[in-house]
Structure 1
Amino acid sequence: MKKHLYTLGMAAAFLSACSTSQTPATSGSDAVSTAAKAVGAIAADPTKYANTITAADLEKHLRILASDSLEGRETGRRGQKMAADYISKHFRANGLMGPVKTGSNPYYQTFDLEESSWGEGYMTVAGKKYTMGKDFFVLGASPFQAEETAQVVFAGYGIEDPAYSDYTNLDVTGKVVVVLAGEPKKADGTYLLSGTDKMGTWSQDPRTKAAAATKKGAKAVLLVTGSTDEEFQKMTGRYANALTRPSIGFGATATQPRAALMMVSPTMASALLNTKAANLTAYGASVAKAGKPVASTFKPATGVKVKTERKRQPLPTENVLGYLEGSDLKDELIVISSHYDHEGIKDGVVYNGANDDGSGTVAVMELAQAFAEAKKAGAGPRRSILFLTVTAEEKGLLGSEYYTMNPVFPLANTVANLNIDMIGRNDKQHEGKPDYIYVIGSDKLSSELHAISENANKTYSNLELDYTFNDPNDPNRFYYRSDHYNFAKNGIPIAFYFNGVHDDYHQPTDDVDKINFPSAEKVSRLVFHTAWDLANRTERIKVDSNKK
């Protein structure tokens, strides 16, 4: 009772202040109207709208999106197009706007990916031929369509940071850069950059090194993987299995070249640098002793030949966007996201992806409907909300990467991203205890977002918020493995909601009948209440930290 009286009192005070103030832009009845809309959201009971998110509606949508008729929703295929159509029609039916100004469908952000498969691939070093798929693997695109002579340079750990740079006085323009995996440590075993036992993005995400090399003009980055060839084989086994299958990604262009990223064995790296594998380990020890980058004595091989033939064709796809305009703070934006693609059909078997991420997608659809209902009742959000279902997550977070590279709304105006991926199932750690959710990343960039999430749960949901996977040293690296990461790396606070993996993960047995819809309902309502707070508070949340 005290809580509701306090809220209504604040709302009345706010309305009084707004109606008596005069500004050149808004006065009289217009000012009262704008203020009234803001107060509508502040004074309204969000539970009324959260309760429109129901297990029955989640199931209704998922039985369509995860049916065999949608053929596993693989990026660029017919089933993915059918899913996009279903989601966009849901947004339209609930009064959300399609915010995309180009193309024939304002709910679609269309773009071309590139489908490709490997042809011949090798490197020749000092007369010895190293084979793609055995001695090295290419992650993503590669510019060496025909055989080329490559100039090789060594760049330590491949780090470019204000506190530590391997590129000082090193020209890598147009060259192939060999770098060590991970990041340097001090003699006491702590990481040199952080000063603690916590590894950073340079260790967690090899794309960070590729991005740094790209900025320096490198043509390719060769990441020395494993301390022995046996370890290299174990670490790259999944790439060997995928080598014969077509893959999907962004193609390199003249205006936006990307340094190729390759994982190479210690033996091959040693040949490229004219040294022994033991000396690569010794280099790391010398950095630990010096506490800073050191010059190497390696004299890279000359006359290296590279060919990584790739057969390519464009693959059109689309993100699906539903936009709900806010009231007095409408220029600021909350993004609620999921990915709606999955694995498609393999060997004639449909991979329906009910949990991954049909569950998150139907949650976003229900959240969109709940906020739309609030707006129809005069309690719409103060900030605008973008309901973003992205394609090609399974291909490397490509749909969300495309959005953040080509945002429909300025990233500077994007307050936060709440991302939902795989809810409504239990992992082994929570068998028999379904009322939980892993929350990842809520404290990485904003302490306020973390506090809002905690308060929303305490006030409305009472789920167990499990932060196991928020640990930067967790080997699963889930913080880097779903679409929120593309917002986080652009400095936008995120929270990732995830119930963990299970035996049906990326298997054809990930079916609707295994989803616990009451559990998915509770998590979806938690996301709603968190989004409600973010969208209606007066002050935008602060970005006050930068945790890894």
Structure 2
Amino acid sequence: MTFYLWLCGQLNSALFFLMKKLVLCGLLALASVLPAMAQQAPAKVKIKLKDLARRGKATASTATDWSRTYAATIRPEELRQHLTVVASDSFQGREVGRPGQKLAADYLVKQFAALGLQGPVPGSDNPYLQHFPLIRSTPVDGGYVRVSGQRYEWLSDFFSYGPMPSPFRTETVSKPVFVGFGVEQGAYSDYAGLDVQGKDVVAIMGEPQDERGRKLLKPNGRPADYWESGLRKAVLAKAKGARSIFLMTFAPTAAFQQEAAKFAPSLREPAYSLPDPGPAIVDTVREDLPPGIGVYLTSQEMGLQLAGTDLPGLIEYVRAVGRAGKPVPAAFAPPAVTIYVPQTQEPLITENVLGFLEGTDKKDEVLVISAHYDHLGVKHDTIYNGADDDGSGTVALLEIAQAFAKAKKEGHGPRRSILFIAMTAEEEGLFGSEYYTAHPVVPLANTIADLNIDMVGRTDRKHSPKKHFVDIVGSNKLSSELHRINEAANRTYTHLELDYRYNVPNEPEHIYYRSDHYNFARRKIPVIFYTTGEHADYHKATDDVDKIEFDKLTERAQLVFHTAWELTNRDRRIVVDSNRP
């Protein structure tokens, strides 16, 4: 039952009660004055019960809508005040583990405490801070691979598929395993019969085709190019237990070196990982690389040497797969190799910031409202302030917390509890939410939903500046009730255009997998991800406070509040009636 329907029911009950009371009172009063009226005005007096009913309806309609009352305390000027601090130069871009992130965490702690929220983290030196470890890995020049008497250089003949920790920080001798295209779907498996646990694998980029050039693997609801990307192959290799995967491109050495030069600056950036990455997420299109495995792209020449063949031999293998329509044994095998990809590795401690608002009669059930407060930090002496990503979500979280705290102080607090979480390390791989969902302060079984807010302060390239909209992602993937509740809250209160373009199957940007709600969803907790998409300043130093549309930010934060109000005050916990995490 949505909040809108519940409210209508309450008003109808109140109306019926008031009508009875007014009619009864009216008749009693009439009995006392009829004798006098008969003397003064012998004309017949006609009582209009419909007028009494109308008065009763008017009285009932004045009942206070507390959701509307407290949502109104979310104001543009307060959002601006918070964001001017959070996205200021003094916080140095809030990069995970850096001093600016610590300053931002301290600011959030003070705000939660001032609102009267509880610090729920047991055993912490500060009950508002959930500390957890990360490893920062920074590449060092001089890496190489030696194979068949040839030496191939780092950032020239091969490079990492994104910044990541290296499993080859000391010179390592390996006997790789050739895994064809490195794919698996249904009965087709390039890993069948192969033991790759702790080993290094070599795979061909792309996917198998028949002799007429048609793909052997059907999409089956996935993007048509599902196996074109090395990301999917890395996830699968990690799930199979491989230590690394070398992805052979068909780019000649000169062309490959040109591409490597383009990516060199970003490939020298630090990478972050959890010390214990846990299992890879299989069968998703999550954008980020799986932690705990090295992933490398190679030139065609180097890839052929790693596989132990030449170009004609590889072409014959690909044709044989196409003719058979399934994996076939290769006529070649990789030789031994020596691999060295040096990095410095630095352990660090970072922290999620948590504030807890205890409910009343259903306090053991908890709604999580989340946003990430970290950003990209300082790059080449330029501060990336991240006003929209995700300063906007962070300050929306503070204002929603303020509204609920005020409601509780004034005797109208929610029935269920609310846990407000400002996540860290989202930009580096959703590590804050991954750590929280693995180490929750409230049992996940008691967590009814996560409402996640990430980039809600701007208008993206796909909407007119006049549009008042928000993108809704994931609302119907696990709970049809959650989807309906959010839509009803919008119809009743905020009247935004709800855009579901990122919620469709095979959505090419994979937005559903790119923010902290996903770590709740993969554990079967219903989620809504509120966002407004990418804009010209996304992940640039120009994402500043002066470009935030605070009127729209206010409306979007109010929608989250109204949805949260219904979720925490309804009689029944929302159902989980779907299974599409």
TM-score range for the pair, normalised by the shorter chain length? 0.7 to 0.9
State whether residues 205 and 480 of structure 1, in contact with CA within 8 Å, keep that contact through their aligned partners in structure 2: no
Question: Deviation digits for residues 376-432 of structure 1, max 9, x if unmatched?
Answer: 333333332221111122222222222223322333333322211111211222232
Cα distance change on mapping 1:306 and 1:376 into 2, 3 Å: same
Whether 2:178 is the aligned partner of 1:175: answer: no
- What are the residue-to-residue correspondences of 1:11-160 with 2, within 5 Å? 45-119=66-140, 120-138=142-160, 139-159=163-183
Distance 2:508 2:136 in 1: 30
* 1:270 CA drift (Å): 2.6
1:380 aligned counterpart, secondary structure: coil
* 1:55 CA drift (Å): 0.9
Distance 2:277 2:531 in 1: 35
Q: Specify the alignment match of 1:274 in structure 2.
A: 308
RMSD after superposition:
3.5
Q: Specify the alignment match of 1:28 in structure 2.
A: none
1:321 aligned counterpart, secondary structure: strand
State whether residues 437 and 464 of structure 1, in contact with CA within 8 Å, keep that contact through their aligned partners in structure 2: yes
Distance 1:377 1:545 in 2: 39
Cα distance change on mapping 1:485 and 1:52 into 2, 3 Å: same
State whether residues 356 and 418 of structure 2, in contact with CA within 8 Å, keep that contact through their aligned partners in structure 1: yes
Cα distance change on mapping 1:410 and 1:183 into 2, 3 Å: farther
Whether 2:552 is the aligned partner of 1:531: answer: no
Question: Deviation digits for residues 427-453 of structure 1, max 9, x if unmatched?
Answer: 222232240112222233333333332
State whether residues 189 and 197 of structure 1, in contact with CA within 8 Å, keep that contact through their aligned partners in structure 2: no
- What are the residue-to-residue correspondences of 1:149-228 with 2, within 5 Å? 149-159=173-183, 165-180=189-204, 192=217, 194-196=219-221, 198=223, 206=231, 209-224=233-248
Cα distance change on mapping 1:277 and 1:327 into 2, 3 Å: farther
Instruction: Write the letter of the residue equivalent to 1:340.
Output: Y
* 1:62 CA drift (Å): 0.4
Cα distance change on mapping 1:467 and 1:311 into 2, 3 Å: same
* 1:182 CA drift (Å): 6.5
Q: Specify the alignment match of 2:399 in structure 1.
A: 366
User: Greater CA radius of gyration, 1 or 2?
Assistant: 2
Cα distance change on mapping 1:382 and 1:45 into 2, 3 Å: same
Distance 2:457 2:384 in 1: 18
State whether residues 191 and 199 of structure 1, in contact with CA within 8 Å, keep that contact through their aligned partners in structure 2: no
Q: Specify the alignment match of 1:6 in structure 2.
A: 9
* 1:272 CA drift (Å): 1.6
Q: Specify the alignment match of 2:50 in structure 1.
A: none
1:112 aligned counterpart, secondary structure: strand
Unaligned runs of 5+ in 1: 13-42
Distance 2:358 2:302 in 1: 55
Whether 2:356 is the aligned partner of 1:323: answer: yes
TM value normalised by structure 1: 0.83
Whether 2:458 is the aligned partner of 1:425: answer: yes
Whether 2:579 is the aligned partner of 1:545: answer: yes
Larger mean Cα displacement after TM superposition, 249-258 or 537-546 = 249-258
Whether 2:323 is the aligned partner of 1:305: answer: no
Cα distance change on mapping 1:244 and 1:2 into 2, 3 Å: closer
Cα distance change on mapping 1:2 and 1:432 into 2, 3 Å: closer
Q: Specify the alignment match of 1:492 in structure 2.
A: 525
Instruction: Write the letter of the residue equivalent to 1:114.
Output: I
Distance 1:334 1:159 in 2: 39
State whether residues 190 and 196 of structure 1, in contact with CA within 8 Å, keep that contact through their aligned partners in structure 2: no
Cα distance change on mapping 1:487 and 1:262 into 2, 3 Å: farther
- What are the residue-to-residue correspondences of 1:348-363 with 2, within 5 Å? 348-363=381-396
State whether residues 322 and 387 of structure 1, in contact with CA within 8 Å, keep that contact through their aligned partners in structure 2: yes
Distance 1:185 1:11 in 2: 69
1:374 aligned counterpart, secondary structure: helix
Instruction: Write the letter of the residue equivalent to 2:576.
Output: K
Q: Specify the alignment match of 1:40 in structure 2.
A: none
Larger mean Cα displacement after TM superposition, 328-337 or 49-58 = 328-337
Distance 1:520 1:452 in 2: 20
Larger mean Cα displacement after TM superposition, 197-206 or 336-345 = 197-206
The percent identity for this pair of structures is 47
Instruction: Write the letter of the residue equivalent to 2:266.
Output: A
In the alignment of these two chains, the number of paired residues is: 516
State whether residues 44 and 379 of structure 1, in contact with CA within 8 Å, keep that contact through their aligned partners in structure 2: no
